[in-house]
A and B are shown apart, each in its own frame.
Chain A
Amino acid sequence: MATKKATRDAYGEALVELGKVNPDIVVLDADLSQSTKTVGFARAFPERFVQIGIAEQDLIGTAAGLAAAGKIPFASSFAVFATGRAYDQIRNSVAYGRLNVKIAATHAGVTVGEDGGSHQMLEDISLMRALPGMTVIVPADGVEAKAAVKAATEYEGPVYLRLGRGGWPVIFEEDHRFEIGKAALLKDGDAATIIACGVMVSQALEATKLLEAEGIDVRLLDMATIKPLDVDACLKAAEETGAIVTAEEHNIIGGLGSAVAEVLVEKCPVPMERVGVKDTFGQSGTPDELLEHYGLTAKDIVAAVKRVMARKA
């Protein structure tokens, strides 16, 4: 069985590693450093750690100021508060001025579990994607998360990094090369293409195996960067496999599925299905129960692939 690691843990480790070589990195947190894993950086570089308290709007505004002063701020909280509570600060203080702020938010999606609907952020990709100039990254595993933190540091401009709470299977080898805006081909095939992000990449991998057992050979793309989207990879998949299924731990409105649909409908319309949360809030439960309840399992992806294949001309 694959080892498991939370993307938030990878984020915490990456910060400490990068902090050693890049003195411009400053980390900010809003009274959740134990949970977001910025606590490691806080211990290693206390003078470059800013504890803002429970004040997410202030968190983002202060990060914007630090960026304007030439620093590379990473601002962290739970996804619901980092993007929702501070949306206008992100829009007007960060994105409008194209400031070099990295928003690294953990506890996204229903896999937050028992804390319930108030804490299960399902609209953050949508909110962040709608902002001009914002880069949106949803890593699939710990390896990719670490690589994404490094890429975000090297990139000049605002970045939103969406991270999870739970331990997810490690998919990539340590030498995985992550590039902002480039999808990773995890499996080739021609019956249809699954385009997934975040925790849904491991569910999709599982789905490809279930389908393979039935003699259905699908392609799988890990679309870790949702903005800018890898349009070429989407179009190539549409042309070569003729059907697309997207899978995300997010509302089906405004996220990965919407981003892919926008490209396909204009440039290469093919049958498509979106696996995601069907425009509802979350609730308390274990992560596995919730993935099942909201239709976010390998089984659900398999069913969507079969539906979309049936619609192929």
Chain B
Amino acid sequence: MKLIFERSRPGHGCDMLPANDVPTLQPAAEYTRQTAPNLPEITEGEISRHYSELERNSRGVNNGFYPLGSCTMKYNPKINDEMAALPGFAELHPLQPPHTVQGALQVMQMAEELLDEITGMDCMTFQPAAGAHGEYTGIAMIKAYHKKRGEGKTRTKMLVPDAAHGTNPASAAMNGYTVVTIPSAPDGGVDVEALRAAAGADTAGLMLTNPNTLGLFEKNICEITQIVHDAGGLNYYDGANLNAIMGIVRPGDMGFDVIHLNLHKTFSTPHGGGGPGSGAVGCKTILAPFLPRPVVAQEGGTLVLSNDIPDSIGKVRSFYGNFLITLRALCYVLTLGQQGIPAAATGAVLNANYLMRKLATPAEIAYNRTCMHEFVLSMKTLKKETGVSALDLAKGLLDYGIHPPTMYFPLIVEEALMFEPTETESIETLAEAAEAFRALVALAHQNPEALHSAPHSTPVRRPDEVGAARNPVLKYDFAR
């Protein structure tokens, strides 16, 4: 594929603006740039073709099954995008007077109310722009809480299970916490005794993902949160996996003080090829004084954005977050409603268990229990027997038009493949995927080479990642 810069021809371009209707002025030379940027010179038709080609060489949920674990690649309803594009939302300046944005503030307030009820929390901020940003924010709130109580200097440790996503320890460390890794027990849950031993007067809190990244519900969840509370710490819930349990059980009822949601996973706002998302953070009343500024508040009969939060952690980004993503999530919750929310969770868990059982014979289930919305296979025996790795199998799936599962995560499972089918897939799709997987395992035994070199039908095959990192070429070289 050509780069857009390689399609550029001097003199090509689009005509977007009328002539200047005031006298054209030019800043003095000391203020101006010395060389013009090399931007493409290209006509609109050429732009259209270029991006159509890039689109054909991309993969979205619209193209086929996308069981990428921990990412909840469910169908993204179109009404949500259309509502987000309404001029009365998309054309609002963030600093308009409050009486001109009552509808927008209602969107935020309504989304907060509904998501508070779903999570069992008391308040919510939509300022964080993604899950990791929500983690950073929630942990900063925990830190502010301890500081306010005079324990900021003594509570220096954040407990994080070894199965946690990499963003958890990274977000804790950004807040200056020492990360204490809690091992998993043989059943895949948190090792409760290890947790008990680790929790103490220096514990700031625990970051728990539930269902955990093995796709398992923490059976001892209430005991776990109690241990942390007894030690004076707070419980953080990584809500990336909320799709399994929304409408079934609420983190706020299980002893969690703060949670982030990935609205771009559970609440079907599209991923956009890597964002924009929203990492809405919900919390209990005890943490409300520390929420980022501003919050939506009622003043007389109108809604306002209030900065009157003296103990707020401050701001974690500009304005009020990815508002149009919040709005999409609101549309989704309104659509599914009281019955639809738990039905989606049930559907996701049923699909995952069905697919897991279908794959149980050709592969090994890492932890053989009823799973939640996702499950992890270990390909270590296959690798020992045939030399075919989890990566090889994943690449093989590409030849069947299936997006591979998440690979080599969580780190505690050897040769891990993590599947999350989501509720928006049919039994037929799941059965076809299982068939493809079976065929690939059979192929691994017959002709491992065919899988070492897979995929065979994609536009490119097995890019040299080592070379890319060793000799970084991170932009187009106009001189070549």
Does chain A bind chain B?
no
